[in-house]
Structure 1
Amino acid sequence: MVYGLTPLGVIHTLISLIAVAAGLVALFRDKRIVAGNTTGRIYIWATVLTCLTGFGIFQHGGFGKPHVLGIVTLVVLGVAWLAGRRRLFGGASPYVETVSYSLTFFFHMIPGVTETTTRLPLGKPLLPNADAPELQAVAGALFLVFLIGATWQCLQLRSRSRPGLTAATPAA
């Protein structure tokens, strides 16, 4: 075992790191995760594989919160896809797609922070377990960052959809 991870856990972690890296590139470069470009596709497929490989990891005694998060992530990815490809939500589809993909990135952060802080540094992890109160505070802060980012993304989408306005032009 590497860092207390099973072979499947190592594969799962590597795939999730690819997803997070692609998500960061997309968010910084494109200001959102775009399913139609290479970075967005890498993010989406790596996220799907992260969820699927996560279903085989039962180090905490069986089906639990991480598995539920994987299911929710797959559902949200499906909603984003439907919004982007099928325009299921009409005029709100670009907003639903963008916020949904960003929400899945937030979902990556929860187990990422949890696993990192409860495993590292080796032999003396920062936190004793996944139920440490500090993790709730971190999750709350990450959720606040998600809300701020999603709001900003929606404002950017709205400004692009108004005729005569660009993202750099303030609305009157």
Structure 2
Amino acid sequence: MNKELDMFGISPLGWLHTLGSLPAIPAAAYMFARHGRIVPRSKAGAAYFVSMLIGAVTVVFVAHQPVGYAIASVTLLLLLVGYGAALLPGRGRAKAYVETVTLTLTAFLLMLPTVTEILRRVPDGHPLVTDLQSPLLLGAQGLLLVALLAGLAAQVIHLRTQARAHRAMR
């Protein structure tokens, strides 16, 4: 196999998966920093959706373990629910909660394998982590979980505060 195409042990199809899903990371970071959540009806939200869709669909061709298929399936389901939340029947703030929580979970499910794969492949030929039970890997995954829980808590508090302010204005 061509060494340039096999850099970091990633096949050409793996590169399609990686480069196709990569734009979701800065799009999510931008929306979290600017809006505190992923905003589906925005340019960054559209880029996030397309990139996540590419990543979730192409993982079928590159995953070597059932956990990869499971993460992709759950991510795809959450992505569709999150982007479709505005179409749910009825009124009320529940749609905002469904949208915010499901899309935040997709960002977590993007970052979990991303961090794992980076630590298992970089630097090329001498990765930082060679064992899935490595303290560095488990620590990084733990930090992602803490960030998820703190982020979800902050988002829910913000949504509740907005709802109270909206009710008070009526």
Scaled by the length of structure 1, what TM-score is found? 0.85
Q: Residue 135 of structure 1: which of 128, 134, 137 is its match?
A: 137
What are the residue-to-residue correspondences of 1:15-164 with 2, within 5 Å? 15-58=20-63, 60=64, 63-87=65-89, 91-163=93-165
**Root-mean-square deviation over aligned CA pairs:** 2.1
Number of residues of Structure 1 aligned to a counterpart in Structure 2: 163
Identity of aligned residues (%): 34
- Partner Cα separation in structure 2 for residue 130 and residue 112 of structure 1: 14
Deviations 1:122-154 (A, max 9, x none): 121100044535423322221111111111111
**Cα distance change of structure 1 residues 35 and 137 upon mapping to structure 2, 3 Å threshold:** same
Q: Which moved more, 1:128-137 or 1:99-108?
A: 128-137
- What does residue 170 of structure 1 align with? none
**Cα distance change of structure 1 residues 161 and 93 upon mapping to structure 2, 3 Å threshold:** same
Residue 123 of structure 1 aligns to a residue whose secondary structure is coil
Where does structure 1 lack aligned partners over 5 or more consecutive residues?
A: 167-172
- Partner Cα separation in structure 1 for residue 45 and residue 57 of structure 2: 18
Deviations 1:59-82 (A, max 9, x none): x3xx51111100010111122133
Q: Which moved more, 1:23-32 or 1:83-92?
A: 83-92
Counting helix residues as a fraction of each chain, which structure ranks higher? 2
- Partner Cα separation in structure 2 for residue 149 and residue 20 of structure 1: 16
- Partner Cα separation in structure 1 for residue 133 and residue 13 of structure 2: 23
Scaled by the length of structure 2, what TM-score is found? 0.86
Q: Could you tell me whether the CA contact under 8 Å between 2:53 and 2:76 is conserved in 1?
A: yes
Runs of 4 or more off by more than 3 Å in structure 1? 87-91, 129-134, 163-166
Where does structure 2 lack aligned partners over 5 or more consecutive residues?
A: 1-5
